[in-house]
Amino acid sequence: MSTPPLRKDAAQNRQRIVEIARRYVDDGRPLQLNDVARTASIGVATVYRHFPTPEALLEAVALPAIEKLVRRAEHALTEVDPWTALRDFLAAAIEALLTDPAVPPVFAAATNSLEHTGDLKRGLATAFAELLTRAHAAGVIDSSVTEADMTPLMCGIAYAANVHSALGPTERATNGLRYLNLLLTGLYRP
Amino acid sequence: MSTPPLRKDAAQNRQRIVEIARRYVDDGRPLQLNDVARTASIGVATVYRHFPTPEALLEAVALPAIEKLVRRAEHALTEVDPWTALRDFLAAAIEALLTDPAVPPVFAAATNSLEHTGDLKRGLATAFAELLTRAHAAGVIDSSVTEADMTPLMCGIAYAANVHSALGPTERATNGLRYLNLLLTGLYRP
DNA sequence: CCATAAGCGGATGAGTCATCCGTTTCAACG
DNA sequence: CGTTGAAACGGATGACTCATCCGCTTATGG
């Protein structure tokens, strides 16, 4: 599975493509590979070689945000109170989903369909599972909720916050956190 | 605003188009107007004349389900206990969203962009508002939740239940109701 | 039965997508 | 250094989707 390191020019092109793609995502423009290639003044084939599909490119764009979230998860695992740990991590996840438009599709995609972020997402799932196990053991959350529910629920909250396309980023973030609080209230068992 | 009645052949074609489109939706095939036209053995232009965009066609497909939900809302308004009324109606909404794949996009779309279901959706919003007002007055739900939150939250739950594309319809419905219950627990103020 | 407006259909041009293959560039090695 | 082969490049191209336009057909009501 080990890939030989990219040639210098290839690495440069790859990075440039991701940078351009990031702008597309931030501006809400559709991520069309031909279009990205033209903007980057790079041959279409080069773009397709690096990223066979728009999803693959989007993954690369979302990578830093996902990595950051993984670090947050690791940090959450050092928190002693299971409820606080879970709550803080979920808030971080919602923040990532609402802050970076590249994140939700990657988060929602099936893990095994992902080339670049598959491992990271599996890591997140493990962290989720651990946080949930602790919370269950402490008896602070609804016992019927499993790890398999968490990603969908987070995506659902982010989706709900984004449905009002008229709202600005700030209101959407606020709504996302409000919705998360409703869910947390529903989960909590004092 | 009153439209003269359609000519007989036109009405027939329209109905046929919607029927074919319904199959597409049920099978999860993308609703491409050219494609629908060919399947229906009807000229492309005819389809475009009746439904300028795929969204418009989807609306027509979703119409019966939305009408049914409106009737449910009216029924809920006759229930005396505000909490029961709200809960039952929300369950009906989730059921509609999860049962009919045509419903979620229509539900999530901005009301004012809709040709056929705009009035119905406004009616639903009014019913929602009334149910919420009663629940607030009775002090049984979180006071910060407004009518504007309800549609997004319902869409979010439906979305969460559908993220696991691997699951069958039954499991998805079950999960949707579980998620709704979590939300309801979070909303409830005893 | 006729006139006419409403409706029909499919050919077509604009636009997007992704592949193929001849050319160029990098980097390892003598 | 110069050579060489593999790696990477690029853009022309054919397949495909989209939606419009306009000449033809059919329902309807007088």
Q: What is the mean pLDDT of residues B134-141?
A: 94
Amino acid letter, residue A150: M
The answer to whether the beta carbons of residues A141 and A187 sit under 8 Å apart is yes
To the nearest whole percent, how much of chain B has pLDDT over 90?
A: 80
Chain D: nucleotides below 7 Å from protein CB are 7-12, 17-22, 26-28
Mean pLDDT of B14-21: 97
Rounded-to-integer distance, Cα B38 and Cα B32, Å: 10
pLDDT of residue B189: 76
pLDDT digits (tens, 9 = 90+) for A35-51: 999 999 999 999 999 99
Strand nucleotide closest to residue A11 (CA to C1'): D8
How large is the average pLDDT for residues B18-36? 96
Tell me, in Å, how far CA of A37 is from C1' of D13? 17
Q: Residue A3: pLDDT band by 50, 70, 90 thresholds? A: confident
Nearest by CB to residue B110, choosing from A159, A160, A165, is A165
Per-residue tokens: A161: 């916050």
By the 8 A CB rule, do B105 and B55 touch?
Answer: yes
Closest-approach nucleotide to residue B46, Cα vs C1': C8
Please, which pLDDT band fits residue A178 given cuts at 50, 70 and 90?
very high
Residue B112, pLDDT above cutoff 80 = no
| Three-point CA angle A51, A72, A153, nearest 5° | 75
Task: Please spell the DSSP secondary structure of B46-72, one letter per residue.
Answer: HHHHH-SSHHHHHHHHHHHHHHHHHHH
pLDDT mean across residues, chain A: 92
Contacts of B132 in chain A (CB under 8 A): none
Instruction: Give protein residues whose Cβ lies within 7 A of nucleic acid chain C.
Output: A 7-9, 30, 32-35, 44-45, 48, 52-54; B 4, 6-7, 9-10, 12-13, 42-46, 49-50
Specify the pLDDT at position B165: 74
d(CA A173, CA A99): 8
pLDDT computed for residue B6 by the predictor: 85
pLDDT of residue B2: 62
Which range, of A12-16, A139-143, B139-143, B165-169, averages the lowest pLDDT? B165-169
Residue B184 CA to residue B188 CA, distance in Å, equals 6
**Which tops the pLDDT comparison, A40 or B114?**
A40
CB pairs under 8 A between A and B: 87
For chain B, the DSSP string reads: -PPPPPPHHHHHHHHHHHHHHHHHHHHT----HHHHHHHHT--HHHHHHH-SSHHHHHHHHHHHHHHHHHHHHHHHTT-SSHHHHHHHHHHHHHHHHHH-TTHHHHHHS-GGG-SSSHHHHHHHHHHHHHHHHHHHHHT-B-TT--HHHHHHHHHHHHHHHHH-TTS-HHHHHHHHHHHHHHHHHHHB--
Q: Which pLDDT does position A20 carry in this prediction?
A: 97
Mean pLDDT of B35-40: 96
pLDDT at B1 over 60: no
Q: What is the pLDDT of residues A36-89, one digit of tens each?
A: 999 999 999 999 999 999 999 999 999 999 999 999 999 999 999 999 999 999
pLDDT of residue B115: 75
The whole-number pLDDT of residue A2 equals: 63
Q: How far is B186 from chain A (nearest CA, A)?
A: 4
The closest CB to that of B159, out of A159, A165, A181, belongs to A159
The reply to whether the CB atom of residue B7 sits less than 7 A from any atom in nucleic acid chain D is yes
Q: With contact defined as beta carbons under 8 Å apart, do B57 and B36 qualify?
A: yes
- Return the C-alpha torsion angle A169, A170, A174, A180, nearest 10: 30
If one compares A3 and B61, the residue with the highest pLDDT of the two is B61
CA of B62 to C1' of D22 (A): 33
Who wins on pLDDT, A190 or B21? B21
Buried b or exposed e, range A149-161, using 16+ CB within 10 angstroms: bbbbbbbbbbbbb
- Mean confidence (pLDDT) of chain B: 92
Is the confidence at residue A115, as pLDDT, over 80? no
* Whole-number pLDDT of residue A74: 93
